[in-house]
Copies of this chain bind each other. A is one copy, B any other.
Amino acid sequence: MENVIGNNLPERLDKIDLHIIEAMRKDGREAFAQIAEQLNVSPGMIRQRYNRLVELGYLKVVAVTNPLMMGKRTMAMIGVRTDGRRLLEVAEHLTKFDEVVYIVVVSGRYDIMIEVFCRDHEDMLKFMTEKLAKVDGVRETESFMHLKIVKEIYF
């Protein structure tokens, strides 16, 4: 299929870049000095590399919260079928809802898959009926309630 594709990385990442990425995946606030020491280079170089990776769009460092701790106890994936003429409009509209943390247009049985974080079942039902269903172009939805999150990598 797409196995003949050329180089789609504007600039190649070297070992130092990859080490920075790995270190920061574990702790996004790891001091540059610490990383520099591990690699035996100067902290200034790490800072420079970090800034370059961020500028080129390889990486960003963000705070990730625990939904349960933040009071979100009812979560779900929802498969959405849309009027195909308004598919992208629907996806765009859904970005506005705070409950929606993930939106992806997909092939297959659904048109859009979203992930939703709500306070409780009542809040989820309110989201479904007062927000999601009211978006023009949404036709059918099928929800998959989270019973247990087993792995979550912030890629």
Binding site for B on A (CB under 8 A): 1-9, 21, 24-29, 56-77, 81, 83-85, 87-88, 91-92, 94-95, 100-110, 112-113, 117, 120-125, 128-129, 132-134, 138, 140-155
Contacts and interface: CB of A to CB of B under 8 A. Distances in A.
Given A2-B74, A65-B59, A141-B84, A147 B121 contact: yes
B5 A103 contact: no
A68 B107 contact: no
B1 A73 contact: yes
Contact of A122 (B63, B112, B134, B148): B148
Q: How many copies does the complex hold?
A: 8
Give the interface centre of A1, A9, A65, A129 by most chain B CB atoms within 10 Å: A1
